Amino acid sequence: PPMKMLKPLAAALAVCAAVAVQARPLEDIQKSGTIILASEGPYAPFNFFKGKQLTGYEIEVGEAVAKKIGLKFEWKTVGFDALLTGLAQDRWDLVIASHAITEERAKAVTFTAPHYCSGGQIVSMTPAIAKAADLAGKTVAVQTGTTYLDAVKKVPGVKEVKNFPTDDAARNALGSKRVDAWVTDRFVAKEMISKLPKAGFKIGDMLFIEQVASAVTKGNQGLADAWNKALKELIADGTIGKISQKYFQEDVTCK
């Protein structure tokens, strides 16, 4: 009978609702004293390991903001794909891993103010592949789940888009000429060229621009507000600019 069926359904819905509101509000994080931050790890110079030490622009920005709010921090690192889903499961309070603000992602998470402005850039091994139109008939490597994947899919005539679990793996595919081009962040490309000047990588055009921000659980506005206020102050007093100079020799914050 339908009434009997409704009970388990109601129970299941209640569990879903409970899971959805589990995110720790700012007050709870403050009570515990420690914010749980999550990032990826193989995405230099934004988030990467120097030996066992997690570091990079976003790691230092995240730590500076946490301190400014008056919190200690603890890092978790997981694959790029698992970062936003882990937020929804309340496995960490905030993700800072170069996620651009997109409409699609904003359906699932709440974005903070951006900590850098950048864009997707074409990288190849030949000056003949530099513009979007040059990608026609070509194989292009991108990291799974990124805005680069979405952008390359929209370029007319691309022969194949190859997905890789990390951006590093996508770059290696280009380096070993298994693909014709790689689309990545412009600052990742810049850093790579300066680290490996003889590897033969050629920087092409930017395909699009984007604003990159942290993400908190959908609707965790109190945490987002505190983060935004602290970030704004750290941009104004030059702290973020200094971190940016250290990793990029330029200011990557949004103008």
Question: Of 47 and 239, which CB lies nearer to ligand ARG in the complex structure?
Answer: 47
Residue 121 beta carbon to ligand ARG: minimum distance, rounded to whole angstroms: 11
Binding of residue 98 to ligand ARG (CB under 6 A): yes
Question: Of 99 and 171, which CB lies nearer to ligand ARG in the complex structure?
Answer: 99
Binding of residue 182 to ligand ARG (CB under 6 A): no
Report the site for ligand ARG in 4-23 (rule: CB under 6 A): none
Question: Of 226 and 247, which CB lies nearer to ligand ARG in the complex structure?
Answer: 247
Binding ligand ARG (rule: CB under 6 A), the pick from 24, 43, 94, 158 is 43
Task: Phi first, then psi: give them for residue 143, nearest 5 degrees.
Answer: -80, 140
Tokens of 48: 């990467």
Binding of residue 146 to ligand ARG (CB under 6 A): yes
Contacts of 71 (CB under 8 A, 6+ apart): 29, 30, 33, 34, 35
Binding ligand ARG (rule: CB under 6 A), the pick from 99, 162, 171, 186 is 99
**Residue 123 contacts residue 199 (beta carbons within 8 Å):** no
> Which pairing describes strands 53-55 and 47-50: parallel, antiparallel, or unpaired?
antiparallel
For residue 97, which of 155, 50, 143 has the smallest C-alpha distance?
Answer: 143
Mark residue 79 as left, alpha or beta (left: phi above 0; alpha: psi -120 to 50; beta: remaining). beta
Which residues of the shown chain bind ligand ARG in the complex (CB under 6 A)? 40, 43, 47, 80, 97-100, 143, 146-147, 167, 185, 212
